[in-house]
Amino acid sequence: MAAMQGRRQLLPAAAALLACLLLLPSAARGRNITAILDGYKEYKLYNKYLSETKVCDEINSRQSTSMTILVLSKDAMTTLAKDAGGSLAAIKNALRLHSVLDYYDRRKVKKYGDESAATLYQATGDAVSTTGNVKVVDQDDKNYGFSAATPGARICTVTKEVETHPFKFAILEVTAPIEFDGLFDTPSTANLTRLLERAGCKVFAALVASSGVLKTYEGAMDTGLTLFAPNDDAFQARDAPDVKNMSTADLVKLLEYHALPAYNPKTSLKAVKPGAPLRTLATTKAGKDHITVVAKGDDVSLDTGKSKSRVADTVVDSVPFCLLTVDSLLVPPELYVGAPEAAPAPSPAEAPQSSATQAADAPSLAADHADHADHKTNKKTSSAVASRPIGAFAAAAAVCSVALASLL
């Protein structure tokens, strides 16, 4: 009896230890919809679209929100893709509508009856009023389903409760895609110059057109392009290079440095590992002129290694293209005029630095040239960096960046 009791206490402890060892990396990051759906062959196509549209990053970024993901079998997903005219941007709208911002399962629906629930589609501001909601419908017998919020919309019955983690997270398979008139509407991206001008980036738009880089951008818009457009004020900043007096080659480099050859909306930028280099259109084979991301809560900044620029607004998000505005110019390190003459050469010793150290470096460089006001800002930034809690996540991130650095 005593032995059994001893074993009973030991087993859970051992199991907990094992789970801890196995799950440590994922526990630090939380639930990962892509990894979960990888375990279900029948949702492979759905999962593929979830990744291509980056809706997976939106779902993963809401770790503390109760969510229900309405998944589709291969046939239903094929129907959805066809209805969307094969457009990834249109499919993204639908997948957002299928990401419900509340928890549902049969027990809850049978207990509380019909409800209206918000979705990611609505949360991202693409829809006005409640068009982006879905209706949760209590049906006959044991059945329940979901439909669009429009009157008379067809009800898509839940055919399988794939995973239910009560009141946190559920994955439910529905018979058919939920659709409504206008769901597949996407913004026009036909005239990039006009988009830039309307977003308050007239100077940038003019440079892009006159330098010929417009063609480069347009050429990448169908395959994957994230464009960071500085607003007009950014060109007036003290440390901004004089674009009027730049060689064409340097100007082209500067403009190409403002774009990534991949689709990285703001939520996805937030999910980029700290310190991981992102390729820009200016990145050379030798790996020069990449950019890193610094994310803090909802704030996302881009770090050139010499200066940082905050990502402001999403102007257009239309897979595989997105246009974001930034508060200051992204200047390739070798063109950075604000850099001090005798700056310590960026040596290989810089590589193992954590992103936190890099973040602290940039403002201190600026401070060398700064007036009193800038000094204050610098202090604030440094103390914010210093007071960051060293939690499990920070530790994991540090391990990650060291591992990453050793790969480089």
User: Which residue ranges make up the site for ligand NAG (CB under 6 A)?
Assistant: 29, 32, 34-35, 38, 60, 191, 193-194, 197, 242, 245, 271
Phi, then psi, of 382 in degrees rounded to 5: -65, -40
Q: How far is the CB of 268 from ligand NAG (least distance, A)?
A: 10
User: In Å, how far from its chain's centre is CA 245?
Assistant: 36
* Sign of torsion over alpha carbons 75, 80, 85, 91: negative
Residue 243 vs 367, nearer CB to ligand NAG: 243
With beta carbons less than 8 A apart as the criterion, state whether 237 and 203 touch: no
Alpha carbon distance 327, 232 (integer Å) = 9
Residue (115 or 239) nearer to ligand NAG, CB:
239
Compute the least distance from the CB of residue 73 to ligand NAG, in Å.
20
Q: Which is nearer to ligand NAG, 193 or 314 (CB)?
A: 193
In terms of CB distance, is 37 or 360 closer to ligand NAG? Answer: 37
Question: How long, in residues, is the chain?
Answer: 408
The CB-based long-range contact list for 390-397 (8 Å cut-off, 24+ gap) reads: 392/27, 392/28, 393/28, 396/24, 396/25, 396/28, 396/29, 397/273, 397/274, 397/354, 397/355
Closer of 29 and 106 to ligand NAG (Cβ):
29
Closest distance of CB 35 from ligand NAG, Å: 4
What is the C-alpha to C-alpha distance for residues 207 and 84, in angstroms, rounded to an integer?
35
Closest CB to ligand NAG among residues 69, 155 = 69
**At closest approach, how far in Å is the CB of 355 from ligand NAG?**
16
- Between 218 and 327, CB nearer to ligand NAG: 218
End-to-end CA gap in the chain: 57
Compute the least distance from the CB of residue 26 to ligand NAG, in Å: 7
Q: What is the dihedral of CA 24, 18, 62, 271, to 10 degrees?
A: 30
Strand order in the sheet with 225-230: 259-260, 225-230, 321-326, 308-318, 299-303, 292-296
The least CB distance from residue 233 to ligand NAG, in Å, is 20
Q: How far is the CB of 160 from ligand NAG (least distance, A)?
A: 22
Cβ(160)–Cβ(172) below 8 Å: yes
Of 160, 180, 184, the residue nearest 43 (C-alpha)? 160
